[in-house]
Amino acid sequence: MTTTTLPCLWFDTDGLEAAERYVSLVPDSQITEVVRNPDGSALTVSFTLAGREYLILNGGPAYALSPAFSIQLLCEDQAEVDRYWDALLEGGEESRCGWLQDRWGVSWQVVPRRLLELRADPDPARAERAVRAMLGMRKLVVAELEAAADAVPA
């Protein structure tokens, strides 16, 4: 038998609704199991996002989610960043540097792959300019990150 690990997110009561929303947004995602309480409400929800397994426990109000745990979505382009950002932000709250908290309190990092490329640029000054630009943003904007990286220092 192989040991498996997966993140478990503690929700109050609406974990199934959240999981349904998440799998509707991310390709290669699905709900794989719902374990129900005797009253029919969902106790746990097993699901995959982009093939990665997660578990939600509707454990009641004793604990709350925090930004200490986040899910990072690496996006191919600005259109994908915009789509995820807008969908996940609905009823939630923007943060900084590509982070947001959705309406259930789950923290997400919506990151264009281009940022990773810019951060790894062989020219450390170019990489630093891109990172500085990121630090001033809420939703990450690829064109602005590239413009900052390419800016000629004064």
pLDDT tens-digit series, residues 121-140:
999 999 999 999 999 999 99
Mean pLDDT (whole number) for 9-29? 97
DSSP conformation class of 59:
-
How many whole angstroms separate alpha carbon 71 and alpha carbon 117? 20
Query: pLDDT at position 4, please?
Result: 86
- Rounded CA-CA distance 93/91 in Å is 7
Q: What is the model's pLDDT at position 153? A: 74
Q: Is the pLDDT of residue 27 over 80?
A: yes
Helices 124-135, 142-150: crossing angle, 10 deg rounding: 140
Digit-coded pLDDT (tens) for 87-133: 999 999 999 999 999 999 999 999 999 999 999 999 999 999 999 99
Task: Determine the Cα–Cα distance for residues 56 and 45; give it in Å rounded to an integer.
Answer: 5
Q: How confident is the model at residue 152 (pLDDT cuts 50, 70, 90)?
A: confident
The stretch 67-82 carries a mean pLDDT of 97
DSSP class per residue in 104-132: TS-EEEEEEHHHHHHHT-SSHHHHHHHHH
3-state class of 50 per DSSP?
coil
The pLDDT score that the predictor gives to residue 141 is: 98
- Average of pLDDT values for 41-64? 97
DSSP 28: S
How far apart (Å, rounded) are the C-alpha atoms in residues 50 and 115?
20
3-class SS shares of the chain: helix, strand, coil, % to 5: 35, 30, 40
Mean of the pLDDT values across residues 6-12? 96
Evaluate if residue 28 carries a pLDDT over 80: yes
Q: What is the pTM of this model?
A: 0.93
